[in-house]
Amino acid sequence: MPESDPNEFTDREKFILSYYRSRELSGSRRLLGYGLIVVVASVACIILAMVREELAFGVVGYCLLLGRLLYYITEGGRWTKDFQNIFAKYDSKLEALTDQLRKKQDPDGRA
């Protein structure tokens, strides 16, 4: 069985790279839109809680914000690890290619 390249990107890393290559997908407008939807919905729930004097609306509004915050924290941690792996693999590939180029330019190994 052939040995797999440790510098080969995983499917998740490939997805992240393709996501950031696409301006339509990774644009700040899209991210801002999702954030605004959650904020507007939670503010509307809190206003309804004050107007109707029902605690349930306030809890829902708070849970919307808390859920979004937890999502950002957990996914942010996962994405940070993925980015670290991507950069490490790029660096090691670049180093390997640089070494190959040096060997071609100086086949005797002299500096």
| Domain assignment present for 49 | yes
| Domain assignment present for 6 | no
Q: What is the full per-residue pLDDT of the chain (111 aa) written as tens digits?
A: 456 677 789 999 999 999 889 888 887 888 888 889 999 999 999 999 999 999 999 999 999 999 999 999 999 999 999 999 999 999 999 998 999 898 888 866 555
| Domain assignment present for 35 | yes
DSSP string, the chain: -PPPPTTSPPHHHHHHHHHHH-HHHH-HHHHHHHHHHHHHHHHHHHHHHHHHT-HHHHHHHHHHHHHHHHHHHHHHHHHHHHHHHHHHHHHHHHHHHHHHHHHHH-TT---
What is the domain count for the chain? 1
| Domain assignment present for 7 | no
| Domain assignment present for 9 | no
| Domain assignment present for 80 | yes
| Domain assignment present for 2 | no
**Domain of 77, in residue numbers:** 19-103
